[in-house]
Structure 1
Amino acid sequence: MRVFATLDELVPLVGQHVSTSDWITVTQEQIDLFAEATGDHQWLHVDPVRAKAGPYGTTIAHGFLTLSLLPIMYATAIKVEQMRMGLNYGMNRVRFPAPVPVGSRLRCRIKLLACEEVADNGLQLTWDMNVEREGETKPVCIAEFVQRRYR
């Protein structure tokens, strides 16, 4: 984890790799709970028997489940000690170039793309979030994650 005393320490890092998250293992339980929460019960995600005969030989995580792991990945990679509050503001673009088979270990390489002043003594940070699967070269998720953090 990379720790910053203040938000202002991030400003000169625009264009640079800032940190890499811890590894997270995607379990079938997580996939099933995500299916329950979202109503997406596609067999490729929740039916191990049918998925075994499918294109990946096992169940795979929902793309949106992978996307929903970005906040925890960020939290294991970057900490700002003196900050009033933070909000996830949105996404500029998201792609899922490769599947995430159940049992995969994922981590995120985080690069700061932009940093802009916003109202109420805040910064809008745009991060390139590149999620990789252990042992694979192709990323499983690439997203521009936009946050607002307040001093």
Structure 2
Amino acid sequence: MSITVNGLDELRKLAGSDLGVSEWTEVTQERINTFADATGDHQWIHVDPERAAAGPFGAPIAHGYLTLSLFIPLFTGLLDVRGVTTKVNYGLDKVRFPAPVKAGARIRLAGRLAEVADVPGGVQIAVDGTIEIDGGTKPAAVLRSLSRFYA
């Protein structure tokens, strides 16, 4: 369930709060192939199911950056910020990929609003996120994402 805030003052009050977990999202082979086409990264461990089945992971795996790119749609399922004029992805402070996401796996985001800091015209937030794999023992990604919201 998404948390909705209206404006920067309400967002500031959430600093340090657990944002919960998003819905599960399946990472299909089709999505992996589309990402490969978009980025030009057609390495066999991603796009050749037969060869990948005999490879180190036993199946095709999603690109790490595909997993990372899913942070934004997963995050929007956690926090809805209204009453602002602009929302900007400001970058990442850190990211690690402890476990691969196999084609057909489901992932979700667990998030915490670690910091809210004033910047000219708005605020910058830091979100500590863990992208979990359904049934996995290690997360697919652990990251700190930075976003800016302007009034």
Which band: TM-score by shorter chain? over 0.9
Between the aligned partners of 1:8 and 1:139, the Cα distance in structure 2 is: 32
| Aligned equivalent of 2:149 | 149
Match of 1:21 in 2: 22
In structure 2, the residue matched to 1:128 is 128
Check whether the contact 1:19–1:78 (CA below 8 A) recurs between aligned residues. Answer: no
Aligned residues: 150
Offset from partner CA, 1:11-68 (integer Å, 9 cap, x none): 2332231232111100111101111111111100000000011122110000000000
Q: Which residue of 1 aligns with 2:45?
A: 44
Amino acid at match of 1:150: Y
1:67-104 Cα deviation digits (max 9, x unpaired): 00011001111101211110000000110000100011
Where do 5+ consecutive residues of structure 1 fail to align?
none
Partners of 2:99 and 2:64 in 1: CA distance? 9
Q: Partner of 1:142: helix, strand, or coil?
A: strand
**Unaligned 5+ residue runs, structure 2?**
none
Aligned-residue sequence identity (percent) comes to: 45
**Alignment partner, residue 70 of structure 1:** 71
In structure 1, give the amino acid aligned to 2:111: I
Q: Does 1:140 align with 2:140?
A: yes
SS at match of 1:144: strand
For 2:26, the aligned partner's letter is T
Structure 1 window deviating more from structure 2 (122-131 vs 16-25): it is 16-25
Q: So what's the TM-score if we normalise by structure 1?
A: 0.95
Name the aligned partner's letter for residue 147 of structure 1: S
Q: Name the aligned partner's letter for residue 144 of structure 2.
A: E
The TM-score, its normalising length taken from structure 2, stands at: 0.95
